[in-house]
Amino acid sequence: MKTFIITFCVLSVITLAWISVPHWPRSTVQDYVLLYLNDKKLQTLISEADKTPYNIIRWMPDQGNQAGVRSDTGIDWDEMPAFSEELEAAFGQFNTNIFMLFKQNGFWSFPGFTKTELLSAGKDSVTRQRQIDYFYRYGGGLIYQECNDQVIASTPTGRCDRLLFGDWVLEKNWFIMGEFSD
């Protein structure tokens, strides 16, 4: 009986977490959990995206999907991309109004969330902010230096990455946003 109660409680917590994750405050924890829970679906999506000639795909079923090929001069957009049924089904599993995939350094990535940190104001009443953009990449291992707080704090702009689980990598891009006077 004790085993049954413990098993029931654990399964209840997992079920509640599964259902409530999309409603958590936007954070790395939410992204990690969603990434972990959707690992197989995302791998299927990336596998299908790899079969296309595109290296950037914007899934916007309500507004019209876009796909394109990035070059040195910009992006050559195909306003009416012909996606396979398999790719459409893979995107459809996420039940979202917008999802973007892009290929960089030979690996597919998608944006996570953006975090803004207030940096200390100086004597001249100038306030600066650091914006950190989170991206999740499938494959490639560590391409940049490994992320830690000292790396981000030491330069005004940069990129770093960190291995998560399996072939998933978290990439952070940051820059100091404009200076604002009080």
Average pLDDT, the chain: 80
Q: What are phi and psi of 178, to 5 degrees?
A: -45, 160
What average pLDDT does range 4-13 have in this prediction?
68
Dump pLDDT digits (tens) for 60-108: 888 888 888 988 888 888 878 888 889 888 888 877 778 888 888 889 9
What average pLDDT does range 9-30 have in this prediction?
57
Q: What is the pTM of this model?
A: 0.74
| Whether residue 12 is found in the same domain as residue 70 | no
| Number of domains forming the structure of the chain | 3
Within a domain: residue 103? Answer: no
Q: How confident is the model at residue 182 (pLDDT cuts 50, 70, 90)?
A: very low
| Whether residue 170 is found in the same domain as residue 114 | yes
Indicate the burial class of 169 (C-beta count within 10 angstroms; 0-12, 13-18, 19 or more).
buried
Within a domain: residue 171? Answer: yes
- Domain hosting 124: range is 110-181
| Whether residue 49 is found in the same domain as residue 26 | no
